[in-house]
Amino acid sequence: MIKSLKVALAAGAVLFGAHTALQAAGHQVVEEIKFLVPGGAGGGWDGTARGTGEALTKAGLVGAASYENMSGGGGGKAIAHIIETKDESTLMVNSTPIVIRSLTGVFPQSFRDLTPIAGTIGDYGAIVVNKDSDIQDLAGLVAAYEADPSKVAVGGGSVAGGMDHLIAALVMKNAGADPTKVKYIPYDAGGKAMAGLLSGEIRGLATGFGEAVALARQDEVRILCVTSTERNDAMSEVPTCDEAGSKGTEFVNWRGFFGAPGMSEEKKATYIEAFEKMYDTPEWATVRDRNGWVDIYNPDADFVKFLEAQEEQIGSLMKELGFL
């Protein structure tokens, strides 16, 4: 009964706007973070910023967190804003599309115009087929593809030239097949692409590993490989794409944070310290598990190096496919 009363109070707080600042133990690293979300309320970026902010403040690592949404231009509006204001207490959330969109010219800026702080979470890509499919492993898919590419439609939850298309093309390329012939079928969301796979209109699917694992556990789909370098604990029987014959394939769909350009080294160090400490807190574990996120921590110089490598990887692939 006490539990339900507590919840009732929480719901009441939502309704009546009573807000109580939570004082938690632990020493504060950063006084205040203003999160800038390049999309509207309720999207993936919004959830990442609010979840991270919640964990940081509840764990006492950050004194106060506020959130400002600014959608428009596929994230370009917010990038222009943070460059213009140069506010050191603002952190912008972003993800793999910042690399893709600056390559295709949706916005003129790139991550180089910002101060990359850290990649915090991410997901690997996966190649999936229907459980009733005659294709048993990646080699089977590649064989069918090489026999007749027009008969192997591969779907994904992004536009052509978007992330899922790139994953499919990358896997094929590294397996020795022609990536430009991939018959990619775009869907507007991963869930709908999954429905397409189950309806039999596409034979394969490139998608996030997390989403694929959920359905594989229900025995609806078979995961052919995952784009990480090591097998994943969530489903260790799934081979990496490298093991399955697509040599050297690695792709991470990351989410992380950027600061304004010209940020001082000291300030940057405090943010990195806060993120680093966050991973060991129970508050972060709660938020992470609630959202099904995977820790992929990649701070500071490593993050810059990683971004450069990803830009190179995506850029050359997109050129090869004819998108640039």
Partner 1 sequence: MFFTKDRIGGILLLIFCCIYALKIGNIRLLPFQADQAFTARTMPEALAVMGIILSMALIIFPTNRERFSIKEFNWPLGLAFLLLMSLYGFTVRPLGFLLATSAFLIAGFAMLGERSPIKLVLVAVPLVVLFWALMNYGLDVTVQPLPSFLRS
Partner 2 sequence: MLDGILIGLTTAFSMQNIMFVIMGCLVGTFIGMLPGLGPMSAIALMIPIAASLDPSAGIILMAAVYYGAIFGGSTSSILINAPGVASTVATSFDGYPMAKSGKAGKALAIAAYSSFSGGVVAAFLLILTAPYLASVSLSFQSTDYFALMVLGLSAVAAFAGKGEVIKALLMTVFGLMLSTVGTDQTIGVPRFTLGMIDLVDGISFLLLVMATFALSEALMAILKKVDESKREEERKAAAELGSMAVTKEEVKEMAPVIGRSSILGFIIGVLPGAGATIASFLAYGTEQRIAGAKKGKLFGKGSVRGLSAPETANNAAATGSFVPLLTLGIPGSGTTAIMLGALIGYGIQPGPRLYIDQPDVFWSVIVSMWLGNIILLVLNLPLIPYIARVLAVPARFLLPLILFFSLIGVYFVSFNTFDIQLMVLFGLVATILRLLSFSLAPMILGFILGGMMEENLRRALLINNDSWAFLWERPLTLAILIIAVLCLFVPMLSPVFEKMRRKTKGTASAD
Residues 264 and 261: their CA atoms lie apart, in Å, by: 9
Token pair listed for 15: 């309704």
Which partner from the list partner 2, partner 1, none does 66 bind, CB cut-off 5 to 8 Å by kind?
A: partner 1
* Identity of the residue, 19 or 27, whose beta carbon is nearer to partner 1 in the bound complex: 19
Choose the one of partner 1, partner 2, none that binds residue 104, judging by a C-beta under 5 to 8 angstroms depending on kind.
partner 2
Q: How far is the CB of 324 from partner 2 (least distance, A)?
A: 12
- Closest alpha carbon to 296 in 97, 124, 169: 124
Which of partner 2, partner 1, none sits in contact with 131, Cβ below 5 to 8 A by type?
none
The amino acid present at 301, given as its one-letter code, is: A
Q: Which of residues 13-52 bind partner 2 (CB under 8 A)?
A: 14-15, 40-42
CB 262 within 8 Å of CB 240: no
Q: Which one of the spans 100-108, 233-241, 249-257, 300-308 is the region binding partner 2 (CB under 8 A)?
A: 100-108
Using CB under 8 A as the binding rule, the residues of this chain from 232 to 271 that contact partner 2 are none
Q: Which residues contact 222 (CB under 8 A, 6 or more apart)?
A: 128, 129, 130, 131, 133, 136, 216
Alpha helices in 75-207 (DSSP H): 76-85, 97-104, 138-147, 163-174, 190-199
Residue 215 interaction partner, one of partner 2, partner 1, none, beta carbon < 5-8 Å per kind:
partner 2
- Residues forming the site for partner 1 (CB under 8 A): 13-19, 41, 50, 66-69, 180, 321-323
Establish how many alpha carbons lie within 13 A of residue 116's alpha carbon, considering only the half-sphere containing its beta carbon. 26
Choose between 16 and 218: whose C-beta lies nearer to partner 1.
16
Residue 282 makes contact with partner 2 by CB under 8 A = no
Backbone angles phi, psi at 156, to 5 degrees: -170, 165
Q: Tell me how far, at minimum, the Cβ of 161 lies from partner 1, in Å.
A: 8
Contacts of 323 (CB under 8 A, 6+ apart): 104, 160, 161
CB of 143 vs partner 1, minimal distance in Å:
24
* Of residues 314, 298, 291, the one with CA closest to residue 44: 291
- Pick the closer one to partner 2 by CB: 18 or 189: 189
Q: Which residues bind partner 2 (CB under 8 A)?
A: 1, 4, 7-8, 10-11, 14-15, 40-42, 68-74, 76-77, 104, 106-107, 150, 153, 159-162, 183, 185-189, 191-192, 194-196, 198-202, 214-215, 217-220, 289-292, 323
